[in-house]
Chains A and B, each alone.
Chain A
Amino acid sequence: SQTIHQWPATLVQPVGSPLSLECTVEGTSNPNLYWYRQAAGRGLQLLFYSVGIGQISSEVPQNLSASRPQDRQFILSSKKLLLSDSGFYLCAWSAKLAKGNEQFFGPGTRLTVL
């Protein structure tokens, strides 16, 4: 069966510090990968998606970047965090040939920027 991991689970960082969040998927190959952010009490906002290694698309201009160095690894980064980067970061995957195209989410990383 497929599983998706994210770490760390929680993170408290000062403004201006760098960020690296990691997501890995097991039990599938060549998935579509997604990074979402959920601000407190708000809906999901798609940040990045990737259809393959080294292929990253950005949905909104922001202070963050993403990379996909391996097929099942997706990394979210920032060189200098802003207060507005606080939120609940969710990684998700979907199978390219899945009939239903449903997305499966990881447990999330709660980031607080102080």
Chain B
Amino acid sequence: DAKTTQPTSMDCAEGRAANLPCNHSTISGNEYVYWYRQIHSQGPQYIIHGLKNNETNEMASLIITEDRKSSTLILPHATLRDTAVYYCIVRLNTGFQKLVFGTGTRLLVSP
């Protein structure tokens, strides 16, 4: 799996958009970008994934650069409950794959 680089921590005001960057310069052509988050003392939660097109779901948007070497997870209106560690992972989209989490970005949403 390709290595990813994320900032250690970020702050965001409640109600504002949270933009979480991830660098994955060694990503290969058939690897997807996945985002998970882990709220304190809970299991990780899948957020979104994409290959090269931008993706949006009820939780977030994923913007992948044209060269696919970086991406940004966007939480359009952050709430206090979005405070968590966010993990960016690149991996193949095959039937079985273990998840390898790095250190992630600790997002703190404040009132």
Across the interface, do B46 and A49 meet the contact criterion of CB distance under 8 Å? no
Across the interface, do B95 and A43 meet the contact criterion of CB distance under 8 Å? no
Query: Interface code B39-83, partner A: CB below 8 Å = 1, 0 otherwise?
Result: 001111110010000000000000000000000000000000000
Known pairs A32-B95, A101-B95; A43 contacts B43 (CB<8 A): no
Across the interface, do B46 and A46 meet the contact criterion of CB distance under 8 Å? no
Across the interface, do B96 and A51 meet the contact criterion of CB distance under 8 Å? yes
Asked if B15 is at the interface (CB within 8 A of a chain A CB), the reply is no
Bound complex: CA of A35 vs CA of B96, how far in Å? 13
Chain A residue total in the interface (Cβ 8 A):
26
B49, B98, B101, B102: the one within 8 Å of A34 (CB): B98
Chain A residues near B98 (CB-CB < 8 A):
34, 46, 49, 59
Across the interface, do B96 and A106 meet the contact criterion of CB distance under 8 Å? no
Query: Interface code A96-107, partner B: CB below 8 Å = 1, 0 otherwise?
Result: 110111111111
Interface range for B: 10 to 19
Residues of A near any B CB (own CB < 8 A): 32, 34, 36, 43-44, 46, 49, 51, 59, 88, 90, 92, 94, 96-97, 99-108, 110
Across the interface, do A105 and B44 meet the contact criterion of CB distance under 8 Å? yes
Across the interface, do A106 and B43 meet the contact criterion of CB distance under 8 Å? yes
Q: What is the CB-to-nearest-CB distance from A68 to chain B, in angstroms, rounded to a whole number?
A: 14
Known pairs A100-B49, A102-B34, A102-B49; A44 contacts B95 (CB<8 A): no
Q: What is the CB-to-nearest-CB distance from A59 to chain B, in angstroms, rounded to a whole number?
A: 7
Asked if B100 is at the interface (CB within 8 A of a chain A CB), the reply is yes
Across the interface, do B96 and A32 meet the contact criterion of CB distance under 8 Å? yes
| 25 sample A-B contacts, Cβ–Cβ < 8 Å, listed by A number | A32-B95, A32-B96, A43-B101, A43-B102, A44-B44, A44-B100, A44-B101, A46-B99, A49-B98, A51-B96, A88-B41, A90-B43, A92-B43, A96-B95, A100-B49, A101-B93, A102-B34, A103-B46, A103-B99, A105-B43, A105-B44, A106-B43, A107-B42, A107-B43, A110-B41
